[in-house]
């Protein structure tokens, strides 16, 4: 029964949470969305500076809300990869310092592993193997979770991440940043059949299409062309219908490939993770399709879909319960494939064993 305090600062949320096994004791998120909004996206330097300003206050609040003190904490976790390096550094350095000062183990966590673990917070009895559809601002993958820490990517996007496509289409429709929630809301009032849009497909050299890989850049370009065409003849622009048509195409593509992948690999449980997992249409379509195909579906509640530290703490609990922790010289990395996580850990262990700084 480990209790972990974890920090997540990989992008534009300063987040601190305390999790006892799979129970969330506190979950503090200081969002920087309003700060980055005028720029239409995240400005890395501004993000790091604001993490630095917010982090101590968030840590104090997490302890106060959980009503516990340092003696109840068994380990300190932080996201170490992937993400914005300057932003990651703030959380990782704060966590390492706390681990040193409070004499607790430090646990460096992969951000995507955190998104996978978000589902455990809502379904504590969840156990691998399962298939996770991971859909965020930077990633779109179908990950076979074979066992704790053992991941195989079965499908991924060949170009834009789905969250990125949402953000770009939202910019085209002047809906601001981040685009996902704005399109989701607007789409509820639009006609999803108004404009047929192409679903991205990846051709295979031997003919046919890749069954599990995604492509969203063609769809984004199609929306761009549609907007230009409509601007010339329709005023005002039917943005709700465009948003609904785009959202329907995305949700259908993600659902179809996820179900095919799960059935092909005999995986009867599907989980969702990442900011786009909050999407209402995706949740409905997946719910309907899993029921039809007698599969189990498990998705995190909305607060654990977008970036948060509870998911990072939940992954850290699992590591600590297995007797694993990270060296204090663990570096942050802007890119790291989740499939390489094992190698990443072996390297750490090796470094620790050989006492290499």
Query: What's the rounded Cα separation, in Å, for the pair 15 and 105?
Result: 20
Query: What's the rounded Cα separation, in Å, for the pair 147 and 284?
Result: 28
- Least CB distance to Zn ion at residue 306 (A): 7
Say whether residue 181 binds ligand KG4 (CB under 6 A).
yes
Structure tokens at 60: 């104090």
Nearer to Zn ion, 195 or 304 (CB): 304
Structure tokens at 189: 């009032």
**Cβ neighbours around 231 below 10 Å, total:** 11
End-to-end CA distance of the chain: 31
Site string for ligand KG4, 137-156 (x = CB under 6 A): xx------------------
**Cβ neighbours around 243 below 10 Å, total:** 28
Query: What's the rounded Cα separation, in Å, for the pair 175 and 165?
Result: 13
Nearer to Zn ion, 105 or 137 (CB): 137
Query: What's the rounded Cα separation, in Å, for the pair 33 and 265?
Result: 39
Looking at residues 53 to 82 of the shown chain, list those that interact with ligand KG4 (rule: CB under 6 A).
none
Q: What does 181 interact with, of ligand KG4, Zn ion, none (CB < 5 to 8 A by kind)? A: ligand KG4
**Annotated binding residue 274:** no
**Annotated binding residue 176:** no
- Least CB distance to ligand KG4 at residue 177 (A): 8
- Least CB distance to ligand KG4 at residue 335 (A): 13
**Annotated binding residue 323:** no
State the DSSP code for 13. Answer: E
- Least CB distance to ligand KG4 at residue 142 (A): 16
**In the set 121, 154, 254, 278, which binds ligand KG4 (CB under 6 A)?**
278
Helix, strand, coil share (%) of the chain residues, nearest 5: 50, 20, 30
- Beta-strand pair 13-20/3-8: antiparallel
- Least CB distance to ligand KG4 at residue 166 (A): 5
Contact 6, 76 (CB under 8 A): yes
Where does this chain bind Zn ion (CB under 5 A)? Answer: 136, 307
Where does this chain bind ligand KG4 (CB under 6 A)? Answer: 11, 136-138, 163, 166-167, 178-181, 184, 274-276, 278-279, 306-307
Q: Which residues are annotated as a binding site?
A: 111, 115, 134-138, 167, 180, 184, 279, 307
Q: Which residues are annotated as a binding site for substrate?
A: 134-138, 167, 180, 184, 279
């Amino acid at each position: 029964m480990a209790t972990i305090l974890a920090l997540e600062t990989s992008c534009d949320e300063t987040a601190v949470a305390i999790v006892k096994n799979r129970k969330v004791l506190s979950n503090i998120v200081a969002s920087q969305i309003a700060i980055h909004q005028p720029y239409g996206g995240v400005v890395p330097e501004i993000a790091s500076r604001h993490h630095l300003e917010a982090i101590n206050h968030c840590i104090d609040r997490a302890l106060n809300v959980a009503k516990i003190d340092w003696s109840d904490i068994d380990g300190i976790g932080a996201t170490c990869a992937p993400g914005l390096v300057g932003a990651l550094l703030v959380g990782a350095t704060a966590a390492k310092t706390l681990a040193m000062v409070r004499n607790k183990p430090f646990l460096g966590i992969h951000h995507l592993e955190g998104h996978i673990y978000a589902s455990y917070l809502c379904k504590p009895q969840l156990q691998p193997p399962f298939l996770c559809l991971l859909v965020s601002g930077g990633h779109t993958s179908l990950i076979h979770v074979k066992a704790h820490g053992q991941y195989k990517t079965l499908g991924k996007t060949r170009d834009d991440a789905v969250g990125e496509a949402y953000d770009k289409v939202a910019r085209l429709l002047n809906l601001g940043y981040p685009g996902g929630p704005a399109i989701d809301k607007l789409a509820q009032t639009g006609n999803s059949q108004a404009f047929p849009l192409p679903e991205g497909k990846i051709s295979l050299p031997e003919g046919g299409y890749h069954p599990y890989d995604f492509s969203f850049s063609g769809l984004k370009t199609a929306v761009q062309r549609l907007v230009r065409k409509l601007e010339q003849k329709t005023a005002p622009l039917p943005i709700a219908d465009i948003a609904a048509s785009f959202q329907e195409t995305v949700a259908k593509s993600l659902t179809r490939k996820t179900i095919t992948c799960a059935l092909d690999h005999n995986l009867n449980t599907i989980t969702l993770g990442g900011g786009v997992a909050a999407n209402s249409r995706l949740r409905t379509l997946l719910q309907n399709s899993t029921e039809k195909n007698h599969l189990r579906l498990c998705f995190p509640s909305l607060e654990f879909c977008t970036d948060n530290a509870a998911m990072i703490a939940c992954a850290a609990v699992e590591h600590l319960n297995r007797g694993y922790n990270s060296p204090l010289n663990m570096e942050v990395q802007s890119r790291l494939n989740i499939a390489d996580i094992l190698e990443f850990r072996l390297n750490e262990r090796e470094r620790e064993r050989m006492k290499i700084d």
